[in-house]
């Protein structure tokens, strides 16, 4: 099982949102420790969470969402609802583009349920690597919060490296951690790229050594990072089914990436794990 914080990160929602869903009976934790009150969730509860987010993005109230889910709406009906909303969003102003992408991503994930496999998960050791990086803070680990923060970091990083005469020697790597001095869901976003071992820190770019990861569960994600939740949730299921645990914060190694054709991207997701 996963703690509420780990489940929130794997489902790309906020802890505050999960607590609210629990309080109104929309998504109860699988179990609550009677002594500490800590909430714990199962990987298969991500299915209900996917539907809650999708229906909420249709503009339904949470009471309406609960009624629909309790009536066991099937995937065909849900797909019809989402496609209707997609048509409505496409006709709105450009400011709604981000919301439309989120609805489509949740739809694809729901339609892939039952077909997503954990067979492609590989357990391996990750070697240490030196990276040059820039950082920024995102309000949460949700995809729609991460994307606008990390995307401008890479052009600026490569510009600074070129100005400093530093040539990347390997793929770009992004990773995340809780933002310091923040008690909420804020995330410190690291946008890095592999550089040679001899490269030293520069005044406008941080150079650091990412430590080795003794045991990591990894999976290759194909396509845009807007759709990364399906691969992340396949990892979550594998971790639970095989008796491991993780903090939910992944490294993303961009093996192939083009800003103009993100749908052709190839990304390795790496989650540090240990035995539960």
Side-chain half-sphere exposure of 199, counting CA atoms within 13 A: 25
pLDDT at 123: 93
Q: What is the mean pLDDT of the chain?
A: 86
Is 93 found in the same domain as 128? no
**Contacts (Cβ under 8 Å, ≥6 apart) of 155:** none
**Bridging pattern class, strands 31-32 and 122-126:** unpaired
| Count of the separate structural domains present in the chain | 2
Claim: this prediction has a pTM higher than 0.75: no
Is 130 found in the same domain as 72? no
Q: Which domain holds residue 238?
A: 122-275
Is 235 found in the same domain as 167? yes
Ordered DSSP codes for 199-257: ----SSSEEEEEPPEEEEEEEEEES-GGGHHHHHHHHHHHHHHTTEE--SPPEEEEEE-
Q: Is 117 within 8 Å of 234 (Cβ atoms)?
A: yes
* Final residue before a domain boundary, out of 112, 145, 176: 112
Segment among 31-35, 68-72, 239-243 with least mean pLDDT: 68-72
Taking residues 98-106, report their average pLDDT. 61
Judge whether residue 95 has pLDDT over 50. Answer: no
pLDDT band at residue 86, thresholds of 50, 70 and 90?
Answer: confident
Judge whether residue 104 has pLDDT over 80. Answer: no
pLDDT at 75: 74
Is 102 found in the same domain as 138? no
Is 232 found in the same domain as 143? yes
Is 161 found in the same domain as 77? no
Judge whether residue 182 has pLDDT over 60. Answer: yes
Q: List, for residues 209-237, the tens digit of each pLDDT value.
A: 999 999 999 999 988 887 788 888 889 99
**Contacts (Cβ under 8 Å, ≥6 apart) of 190:** 133, 135, 174, 175, 176, 177
Taking residues 67-79, report their average pLDDT. 76
Of 251, 249, 261, 268, which is closest to residue 131 (Cα–Cα)? 251
Per the domain annotation, does 117 fall within a domain?
Answer: no
* Final residue before a domain boundary, out of 60, 79, 112: 112
* Final residue before a domain boundary, out of 112, 141, 159: 112
């Amino acid at each position: 099982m996963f703690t509420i914080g780990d489940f929130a990160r794997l489902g790309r929602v906020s802890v505050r949102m999960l607590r609210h869903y629990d309080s109104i009976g929309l998504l109860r934790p699988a179990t609550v420790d009677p002594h500490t009150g800590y909430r714990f969730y199962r990987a298969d509860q991500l299915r209900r969470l996917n539907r809650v987010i999708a229906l909420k993005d249709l503009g339904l109230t949470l009471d309406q969402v609960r009624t629909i889910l309790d009536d066991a709406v099937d995937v065909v009906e849900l797909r019809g609802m989402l496609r209707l909303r997609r048509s409505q969003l496409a006709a709105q102003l450009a400011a709604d583009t981000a919301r439309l992408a989120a609805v489509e991503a949740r739809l694809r994930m729901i339609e892939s349920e039952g077909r997503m496999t954990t067979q492609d998960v590989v357990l391996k050791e990750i070697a240490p690597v030196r990276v040059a990086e820039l950082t920024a803070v995102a309000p949460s680990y949700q995809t729609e919060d991460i994307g606008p923060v990390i995307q401008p970091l890479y052009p600026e990083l490569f510009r600074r490296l070129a100005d400093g005469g530093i040539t990347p020697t390997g793929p770009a790597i992004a990773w995340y951690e809780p933002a310091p001095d923040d008690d909420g869901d804020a995330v410190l976003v690291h946008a890095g790229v592999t550089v040679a071992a001899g490269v030293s820190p520069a005044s406008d770019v941080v150079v650091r050594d990412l430590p080795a990861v003794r045991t990591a569960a990894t999976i290759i994600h194909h396509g845009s990072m807007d759709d990364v939740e399906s691969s992340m949730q396949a990892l979550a299921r594998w971790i639970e089914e095989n008796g491991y645990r993780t903090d939910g914060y992944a490294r993303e190694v961009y093996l192939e990436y083009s800003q103009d054709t993100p749908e052709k991207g190839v990304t390795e997701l790496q989650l540090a794990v240990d035995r539960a």
